[in-house]
């Protein structure tokens, strides 16, 4: 739809330019100085420029000397330049030899053409690869019999490419993650049909294994649906979230209670450090004890504004990961803390376990990404937990980062803007 609209607008621009050129030529033929009609011509030029400026893509007009005679604001934005482009060689703006060669072929071929290019452009002080679709066509301006200019339109298709790649990766990874437990279930079913059903002990073991992998499939599907909800919310704003004030401390305590069996299995300790008090939970008792005060920030100091349901998932995934990814050696301590400034609330989830390799840190929030470890065969997560965590926090207007030192600690840091900082939280 947008491509058709762009084509219509560009056709209108060419017609307007041709009309202006024809008028200049007719005035010249009649011996009338074109400046006598300059108000009318200026008005037409203003219309032409307004139409070109209204395009959502970069648009340039280039003469036969490969000089830029017009460039709209989108061109300046795409190439991150504020200098005047009129009269400058096209090569001063576009340095890619492939694009320049393509435009030269279009000028010689006398017909519309389109090609896609991958080009490095300056973004935020560094070079980023961008996928650009460049279309060009010769046009006639100023009453010439033959095309004397080249109309160039450049569309930045990087977001579409990234979305398509994410979709492909997601389908491939989801298929792999679902195929593995399904294959195991089918294998045990075949064994049962082949006669194992007559052996009570083996039948029970087979059913337990199938149940475990069936639950894994259900967890993967549930996590994928949760991710889909967050992506829908990000497209339509945060309106899908049910915002309310809730106690962050109570939210974490509920999660710790749900994870009590795993905490006991891992012989771990979970400490909760909030502005009002520090609470330690022991794996042997599952109860919390106030250790020490850490400042008085008022009765609502541990309250957050957001959707409590999704914050349950955030804390559950982060604490469960810390438990699953570490050994049951009795030394694991997981600390959840909340600190506040006038601008933001900062939540940290720290563990003193095996850590995450530096090479893996940039990728751990990607879907289905797992960190390879010596005990990874014992870990049966879906690979979607941290993706859900990031999506949930971003849906609340916050951000999450991670720092880790192998064999020392891993710290996930969540930053949420306070309502008074920019008018609204999340």
426 residues of the chain, pLDDT tens digit each: 445 555 555 565 555 555 556 555 554 544 444 444 456 555 555 656 666 666 678 888 888 888 888 888 888 888 888 788 888 888 888 888 888 888 888 888 878 889 888 888 876 667 778 888 998 988 877 556 677 788 888 888 888 887 777 677 667 767 777 787 888 888 888 878 877 777 788 888 888 888 888 887 887 787 777 777 776 665 555 456 778 889 999 999 999 998 998 999 999 999 999 876 444 445 455 444 433 333 333 434 788 888 888 898 899 989 998 998 888 888 899 999 999 888 889 999 999 988 988 888 888 888 777 776 544 444 456 677 888 889 889 888 899 999 999 989 999 999 998 865 444 444
Concatenating the DSSP letter of every residue in 74-127 gives HHHHHTT--S--TTSBHHHH---HHHHHHHHHHHHHTS-EEEEEEEEEEETTEE
Task: Return the domain boundaries, the chain.
Answer: 2-156, 158-236, 241-422
Tell me how far apart the alpha carbons of residues 37 and 20 are, in angstroms, rounded to a whole number: 11
Written out in words, the top-level CATH class of the domain with range 158-236 is mainly alpha
CATH 2.60.120.10 fits 241-422, yes or no: no
CATH 3.30.450.20 fits 2-156, yes or no: yes
What is the C-alpha R_g of the chain?
Answer: 31
Q: Which residues of 128-138 are buried (b: 16+ CB within 10 A; e: fewer)?
A: eebbbbbbbbb
Q: Where are the alpha helices (DSSP H) in 194-240?
A: 200-236
Tell me how far apart the alpha carbons of residues 271 and 291 are, in angstroms, rounded to a whole number: 10
pTM: 0.54
């Amino acid at each position: 739809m947008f491509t058709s609209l762009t084509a219509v607008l560009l056709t209108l621009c060419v017609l307007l330019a041709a009309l202006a050129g024809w008028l200049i030529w007719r005035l010249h033929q009649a011996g009338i100085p074109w400046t006598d009609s300059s108000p009318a011509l200026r008005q037409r030029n203003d219309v032409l420029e307004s139409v070109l400026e209204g395009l959502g893509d970069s648009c340039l007009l280039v003469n036969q000397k490969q000089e830029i005679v017009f460039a709209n604001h989108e061109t300046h934005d795409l190439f991150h330049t504020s200098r005047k482009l009129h009269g400058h060689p096209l090569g001063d703006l576009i340095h890619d030899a492939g694009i320049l060669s393509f435009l030269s072929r279009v000028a010689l071929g006398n017909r519309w053409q389109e090609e896609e290019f991958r080009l490095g452009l300056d973004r935020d002080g560094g070079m980023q690869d961008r996928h650009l679709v460049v279309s060009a066509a010769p046009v006639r301006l100023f009453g010439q019999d033959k095309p004397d200019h080249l109309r160039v339109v450049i569309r930045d298709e990087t977001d579409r490419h990234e979305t398509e790649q994410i979709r492909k990766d997601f389908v491939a990874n989801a298929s792999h993650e679902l195929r593995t437990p399904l294959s195991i279930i089918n294998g045990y079913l075949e064994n049962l049909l082949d006669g194992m059903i007559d052996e009570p002990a083996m039948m029970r073991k087979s059913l337990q294994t199938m149940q475990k992998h069936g639950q894994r499939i259900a967890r993967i599907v549930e996590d994928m649906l949760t991710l889909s909800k967050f992506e829908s919310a990000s497209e339509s704003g945060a309106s899908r979230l049910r915002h309310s004030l809730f106690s962050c401390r109570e939210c974490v305590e509920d999660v710790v209670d749900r994870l009590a069996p795993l905490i006991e299995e891992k012989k771990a300790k979970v400490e909760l450090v909030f502005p009002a008090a520090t609470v330690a939970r022991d794996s042997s008792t599952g109860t919390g004890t106030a250790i020490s005060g850490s400042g008085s920030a008022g009765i609502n100091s541990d309250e957050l504004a957001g959707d409590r349901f999704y914050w349950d998932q955030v804390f559950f995934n982060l604490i469960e990961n810390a438990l699953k990814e570490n050994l049951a050696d009795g030394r694991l301590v997981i600390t959840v803390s909340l600190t506040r400034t006038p601008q933001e609330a900062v939540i940290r989830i720290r563990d003193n376990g095996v850590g995450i390799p530096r090479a893996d840190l940039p990728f751990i929030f990607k879907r289905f990404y797992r960190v390879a470890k010596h005990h990874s065969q014992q870990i049966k997560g879906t690979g979607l937990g941290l993706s859900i965590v990031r999506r949930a926090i971003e849906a609340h207007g916050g951000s999450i980062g991670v720092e880790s030192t192998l064999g020392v600690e891993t710290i996930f840091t969540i930053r949420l803007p306070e309502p008074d900082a920019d008018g609204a939280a999340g």
